[in-house]
Each structure stands twice: as structure tokens, then as C-alpha cells.
Homo-oligomer: A and B are copies of this chain.
Amino acid sequence: MSVIYDRVALIGLGLIASSMFWAMKRAGLAGEVTGYARSAETRDVAREIGLCDRVCDSAAEACKGADLVVLCVPVGAMEQVACDIAPVLKPGATVSDVGSVKKAVIDAVGPHLPAGVHFVPAHPLAGTEHSGPRSGFAELFDNRWTLIVPQDGSAREAVAKVEALWQGMGAHTEEMDAEHHDLVLAVTSHAPHLIAYTMVGVADDLRRVTDSEVIKYSAAGFRDFTRIAASDPTMWRDVFLNNKDATLEILGRFTEELFALQRAIRTGDGEHLHAYFTRTRAIRRSIIEAGQDTDAPDFGRGKRDG
């Protein structure tokens, strides 16, 4: 693969940025990659493990001369970073991000970017329960989707280059508008995360069942929830605060359905339960057929770095 950008700057050096770095290096997509993280400790780790060709001590320094700047910080920190880097952005440069919500990020970042800079928000649908600079790996985006949310006035060429970068890192890409993105993600990611966090919290609270029992006997079901509920707290706080409306809408629907199933349990309506569980099983099959998971016991992850 050939170089797409001569100079890329990654702002924020967690799971996504570090995976992007290794994926860009794997495919030779970028000339020099600079990086910046707010925490000195993170910058030290990055230097130690060779994450980024050059780790800078300010966001502005990292962005100076960059052809592409990717904001990889929690959604709530995007606006401040945009303010910090706006003065140094090169005319014709592209700014992108990897935030899990799009409308709030666009509202927070867009107004600060100077004319002549292209803004192409993006969201890779990939992650693990781990965070920080050491958690990244080149294969994270392979065969996963990255949603691209072009803005009115984004030059087509700038959008096409961002898509080419993600494809070069292994992802499929699709364009979507911000509002629809936020609704789709509320269903497929944000509401499930809040629900998992809630269930794990309930288990922890319940004094009639000891913590050690919850931990020892956490078979399928709860154990999967704990994995989801171990994701980065700051990132997820910002997701919920910034995708408030769609998340609350889905949670409202969820509560309605849950009450209906609870009533079926209470009244002994086995037919209702069986029909419901049969329908959800069919959805699982569709996901496997779509290649977004496997039905092997290791979920197709055996090839990764475990």
C-alpha cells in the first residue's frame, strides 16, 4: 500500500490511537506520525514502546505541519483540543476524530476550525475492554466498520482520503449522517453498555449474595456483562452525556419491553417468552452470516495477540 498522508498527528494516545498507529505502520499509510497525550506518564509510555515516530509535549506541536490530525480523546475533551490546535493547522489539512458520538463532537469541534481546513468526522466500531497506550494492536480494525460522517462543505477529495486511510487499516467504511449515526450507536452500543454497567452494579450492591459468589459463579451472562462494564469510565461518561437523547429514547423502549417480559414471567406466560427468545436467536444468526462475529467458541479471536 502507498502513503496516503505524509504527516499524521494523533491527539490522545489510548486504545484507538495506538491501534491506528500500528495499523498505519503495518500498511505503510503514513510518512511521519506524531502523537500527543495530556498525561506525561502516557507520553513516557508511548516513547518507551515506540508508539508514534515522534511524541510531542503539546497538541499544537504535534499538529504543526500535519496533513491529517485525528482527535482520539474522550468526547468531552474534544472542544478544548480543537481550540488548542486551531491556530497551528496547515491550510488544506484534514481534521478527523474517532468519537463514539458524532453530533455533539461536530457541534463542539466544527466552529473552532479555521476556513480551509477540512473536517471529516469518523467512528471506528472496534474496541476492547482495555484502554491506554499499551492496549493497541494493528489488527483491531480488521473487518470492522468505520462510519464516516462528512460535513456540508467537506471536499470530496478529503473525505475520500480519510476513507482510504481506514480501508488501509483493515476496516470497511460507510458514510452516514450524524443524527442517524447517533441513533444506530445508541441501539448497538450505548444502551447495551449502560445496561451492562447497571447489572454489574446491582450484583455488587446485593448484600444477600456475597461479592465472592458473584465473582466465582459468574458464568456466561454476567461474565460477558462485566467485560462490557470494564470499558473506560471517562470515555463512557462522555458518550452518555453527549448522546443523551438517543440513549434515553432506546432505554425507554428497553424498559417497556423488559416490563412486558417481567409480566410474562409473573403470570407464567411461557408462550410469550418462548416466542420472544426464538426471535432473538434468529438475529444472532444474521450477525454471524454478516461476518461480524463467528460461532466458534473463541469468537474468531484466536488469531489475535492473546
- Residues of A whose CB lies within 8 Å of any CB of B are 76, 125-130, 137, 144-145, 147, 174, 183-185, 187-206, 208-209, 211-231, 233-234, 236-238, 240-241, 244, 247-248, 250-251, 253-255, 257-258, 261-262, 265-266, 268, 270, 273-274, 276-281, 283-287, 290, 292-302, 304-306
Q: How far is the CB of A204 from chain B (nearest CB, A)?
A: 6
In contact, A217 and B230 (Cβ under 8 angstroms)? no
| CB-based nearest B residue for A222 | B188
In contact, A144 and B277 (Cβ under 8 angstroms)? no
Residues of B within 8 A of A274 (CB): 233-234, 237
| Number of copies of this kind of chain in the complex | 2
In contact, A284 and B203 (Cβ under 8 angstroms)? no
Residues of B within 8 A of A193 (CB): 221
Measured in the bound complex, the distance between the Cα atoms of B229 and A279 in whole Å is: 9
Q: How far is the CB of A6 from chain B (nearest CB, A)?
A: 31
| CB-based nearest B residue for A126 | B219
| CB-based nearest B residue for A278 | B233
Q: How far is the CB of A249 from chain B (nearest CB, A)?
A: 9
Instruction: Say yes or no: A228-B221 contact (C-beta < 8 A), given A261-B194, A283-B215, A299-B301.
Output: yes
Contact of A283 among B229, B255, B262 (CB under 8 A): B229
